[in-house]
Structure 1
Amino acid sequence: MSIRTDLAIECIDFAGETLPQGIITNEKNENGMTITAVEIKEEEAANRIGKPVGHYVTIETDGFEAAAPNFEAQVETVAEQLRPFLPEAGNSYLVVGLGNSQITPDALGPLAVRYMLTTRHISGELAKQIGLPELAPVSALAPGVLGQTGMESAEIITALCEQTKPDLVVAVDALAAGRLTRLGTTIQVSDTGISPGSGVLNKRKELSKATLGVPVLSIGVPTVVDLNTICQGAQEKGQAEKSMMVTPREIDTLIEHAAKTIAYALNRTFQPGLSLEEIAALTA
């Protein structure tokens, strides 16, 4: 039975004991978190594990069910992993919060946008007057889902890119995992783009450099596991074809803390001159 997961680290695990050629992994520990970097270099390896060629970083935390006692260190660790993905030239960013804000397990992206420090409208003399002359231009939007807007997220974001011309698009979205232990404990960062809804069999148009003409950085946290994946095909006859997703009981607080961590890490990445306390005050 095929395993449904958005996590590259799980795709490698499920592929078997022998790591395919063309895949490089590196693991380290920082501030109590395990960070695994995966680079998929060859198409053959990418096809074998079912993930595109590119870079993936997995950050394993103690979980987002409660506020982290070391929140500042956690944010700084995530921000440190994000910085290498920033474009060498240019510093304007568009953050899109993918998902449906009315469905809690899918609300990670829209909620993260609420905590973003948007600065594209603050420039020139105004930036000097408020004492923030070195702000990077950041815009953010939660485009909703097809059923709410009648438009694909990719259509909306493509139009925004044409108008605002960002140097990088950052897509924040809830993910599907293959193991229950990954729910609300793992952050995945990737430069390969994203297909919204793919983890729950609702795949929409891809967001990537190929489709948008702009590099795309995706960030997500697993919030659901497919029941078929959990049971490994042990359901009653006739149930295997049905898609049933499992989510943690503490999903409300999990989404809140995960969204805040991701947003604050992005803010620190885009605006290194601002402290976490200043960012908290400006986004309150």
Structure 2
Amino acid sequence: MRNHWQARYPNRPTDDGWAGTGYSPRTDLALEAHALAKRRQPSVPGVTEEHEELEDITISRVKVTSEAGEQAIGKKRGSYITLDIPGLRHKNPALQDRVVDQLEVEFGRLFRLRKHAKILIVGLGNANVTPDALGPKVVERLFVTRHLFGFMPQLKQQGYRTVAAIAPGVLGVTGIETSEVVKGVVEHVKPDVVIAIDALASLSLSRVNSTIQIADTGISPGSGIGNKRQALDEETLGCQVYAIGVPTVVDAATIANDAMELVLDTLRRSVPNNTATPLFDQFNGREKWQMIREVLEPMGNNLMVTPKEVDDFVDDVADVIARGLNLALHPAMAEADPPVAH
């Protein structure tokens, strides 16, 4: 069986890496990309990673510091903060409040905004497709102020920043590239900072609907599902661009691979001298994943999959992110209810 695989892929790498195979797991998370790179070498040059354990929340900070690091994990130079919150999958108001507070802290540390900075928030994705609707749903819940300052200029002195928000839709609905829409708005609004929010793809079922990533490197909409559009970053928009994302989908090959590993592990423990596990143990993780994807794709079955509870989850996590952003962008909101324009 292994010889058959070698004959079909004579140029495949001999290590456990993914680069150069023509196949790559679909992940937008720097933490997962770093984990893949560490399979090839325990210490990845130009990349550092540290962890912090809080109540029900694990915070991982990956920093890419050099070109070698960029090439090793396929992520731009910068900082990537990942909050793993398994309990986020369940409606737990107390936990959601703790996540909001932690997001306020992490946003404040990363954004480093001037007192009167002008911010444009971009909610990426398709509002009509629930797993892709995170960005538009966050935008709906933001406290935007740009239009208010003309009527209530005193807000600038009360701890509120100039915030505008847009949900530009997707190419398939509007016929306009997202980057074109955002560039046009940026040219008119002239923000100091752009914050882009999007649904992501993960390499792990355990991180779907339970992880939030924050980055200071911008974002490439759709990259995690193989539909990469022009990046929204400092180079294309001319200002600092931050990204916030939550993985809501994983591809079917990853699910099948995880299931196969669980079956094989059960066979190893419960069926002595079985013949299945030695056969598959000849292959490394990358090769197993490739074989499964090769079987699924010709039949059109390598789908992007999301949990059935995604409707409630996207609403809940959109509310959590919006609340965290509101507090981080408007310091006065931590002390009082927001003012209402009449």
TM-score (norm 1): 0.92
Compare 61-70 and 167-176 and name the one that shifted more: 61-70
Aligned counterparts of 1:229 and 1:179: Cα–Cα separation in 2: 7
Indicate conservation of the 8 Å contact 2:124/2:198, yes or no.
Answer: yes
Which residue of structure 1 lines up, in the alignment, with residue 221 of structure 2? 196
Which residue of structure 1 lines up, in the alignment, with residue 152 of structure 2? 126
Indicate conservation of the 8 Å contact 2:33/2:73, yes or no.
Answer: yes
- 1:176 pairs with 186, 201, 211, which one? 201
Which residue of structure 2 lines up, in the alignment, with residue 50 of structure 1? 74
Which residue of structure 1 lines up, in the alignment, with residue 37 of structure 2? 15
Which residue identity is paired with 1:126? M
- 1:266 pairs with 292, 300, 325, which one? 325
1:250-269 Cα shifts (integer Å, max 9, x gaps): 00011011111111111111
Does 1:106 pair with 2:165?
no
* Contiguous gaps of at least 5 residues in structure 2: 1-22, 258-288
| C-alpha spacing 1:236/1:172, structure 2 compared with 1 (3 Å) | closer
After the TM superposition, which residues 1-284 of structure 1 pair with which residues of structure 2 at under 5 Å, given as runs? 1-17=23-39, 18-61=42-85, 62-89=87-114, 91-123=117-149, 126-128=152-154, 133-230=158-255, 231=257, 232-235=289-292, 238-240=295-297, 242=300, 243-275=302-334, 278-279=337-338
Residue 125 of structure 1 and its aligned partner are, at CA, apart by 5.9
For CA contacts below 8 A with separation 6 or more, give which structure has more relative contact order.
1
Which residue identity is paired with 2:45? Q
Which residue identity is paired with 2:118? S
| C-alpha spacing 1:170/1:88, structure 2 compared with 1 (3 Å) | closer
Residue 132 of structure 1 and its aligned partner are, at CA, apart by 7.2
* Contiguous gaps of at least 5 residues in structure 1: none
Residue 133 of structure 1 and its aligned partner are, at CA, apart by 3.7
Indicate conservation of the 8 Å contact 2:138/2:319, yes or no.
Answer: yes
Query: Could you tell me the percent identity over the aligned residues?
Result: 37
Aligned counterparts of 2:293 and 2:159: Cα–Cα separation in 1: 60
- CA RMSD, Structure 1 to Structure 2 (Å): 2.2
| C-alpha spacing 1:276/1:141, structure 2 compared with 1 (3 Å) | farther
Aligned to 1:205, the other structure's residue is in SS state coil
Residue 29 of structure 1 and its aligned partner are, at CA, apart by 2.1
Aligned to 1:274, the other structure's residue is in SS state helix
Aligned counterparts of 2:254 and 2:320: Cα–Cα separation in 1: 28
How many residues were matched structurally?
Answer: 281
**Which 4+ residue blocks in structure 1 deviate beyond 3 angstroms?**
87-90, 130-134, 233-238, 240-243
Aligned counterparts of 1:236 and 1:221: Cα–Cα separation in 2: 24
Residue 227 of structure 1 and its aligned partner are, at CA, apart by 1.2
Aligned counterparts of 1:112 and 1:19: Cα–Cα separation in 2: 37
Aligned to 2:296, the other structure's residue is in SS state coil
TM-score (norm 2): 0.77
